[in-house]
Amino acid sequence: MKIIIFFFLIISSIAFSQEQLKHEVYFDTDKYDVPKIEQQRLLLFIKKLDSFKIEKISIFGFCDDIGSNAYNLKLSQQRADVIKELFSNHEIDESIINNVDGKGEVLLKIVNTKDVNIIRGLNRKSEIIISLKPPQLIVVEEKKENKKSLSDDLAVGDKIVLEDILFKRGYRTIAPESIETLEKIATILSKRENIYFSIQGHVCCTKNSRDAVDAETKKQNLSLVRAKYIYEYLAKKGVSKKRMKYVGMRRKFPLGGDPKFDRRVEIVVTHISNKSK
């Protein structure tokens, strides 16, 4: 059986006809580390990307006209690379970042000599260009797999992927549409008092199995705090803390496919007591 799903872009502050989003990050003289205020601006931009379907991302680095051509080319590449790394650490899929290029210095058009420092400052930057996917019709083949749920007979080692519990990119909190599902999970687990389990948190898109950055605290422990969020939610709903523990898995076990499914939690059964359900 085929399921036909229509995807429409929902665009609020930016016109529907717009096919690209752009953002610029500015640097201090002779530096490629991102200043704090520019990091904050960039994180706000990344947060807005959840509203769009992204086709590809290009990142370009630039310098002013101070320094040699070779030095400026290297510095501009470092400025582009550091933006790519920040994107990766905040769960932006690197496979869609297909162009990271240092352009060296920019020729300055000095209209008035007293403005030269301002003009140079505007050229010490990285430019981010987001190309958006057009609205489209997607045909998805339904997959029939033998998957276990929390209502099935379970054994130690069984892993349950909470597929409908989706997290906001870069955040520990779940998407609003996942709350109802989490309520049902809490109800089931509060009744199955003989099951002890571990809550495993995951992230997407980082390099070398690293953890992602929590956008709220700026700490690189997002998989852990996602697991803790579910742990605390279940505890508030009556699931005994003695039956649960939580752990951050970083990006050790990506599922493949849409990155949003790697921003997930899984429940692994660690013990089943003789107590009846």
Kindly indicate the confidence band of residue 113, based on its pLDDT and cuts at 50, 70 and 90: low
Identify the residue whose tokens are 């549409």: 177
pLDDT of residue 164: 78
Going from the N-terminus, what domains does the chain have, and what CATH number goes with each? Answer: 2-136 (3.30.1330.60), 147-272 (3.30.1330.60)
CB atoms within 10 A of CB 7: 11
Give the whole-angstrom CA distance, residue 123 versus residue 22: 15
pLDDT of residue 277: 45
Kindly indicate the confidence band of residue 196, based on its pLDDT and cuts at 50, 70 and 90: very high
pLDDT of residue 160: 83
For the segment 250-274, the average pLDDT, to the nearest whole number, is 87
pLDDT of 189 strictly over 60:
yes
pLDDT of 243 strictly over 70:
yes
For the segment 188-199, the average pLDDT, to the nearest whole number, is 92
Burial of 145 per CB tally in 10 Å (0-12, 13-18, 19+): exposed
pLDDT of 119 strictly over 70:
yes
Beta-strand runs (E) in the chain: 2-7, 20-26, 54-63, 97-105, 125-132, 136-141, 159-161, 195-201, 244-248, 265-272
Kindly indicate the confidence band of residue 102, based on its pLDDT and cuts at 50, 70 and 90: very high
Q: 178, 261 in Cβ contact below 8 A? A: no
pLDDT of residue 5: 37
- List the structure tokens of 76: 């501009």
Give the whole-angstrom CA distance, residue 190 versus residue 192: 6
- Write out pLDDT tens, residues 29-49: 999 999 999 999 999 999 888
pLDDT of 103 strictly over 90:
yes
pLDDT of residue 275: 60
For the segment 148-172, the average pLDDT, to the nearest whole number, is 82
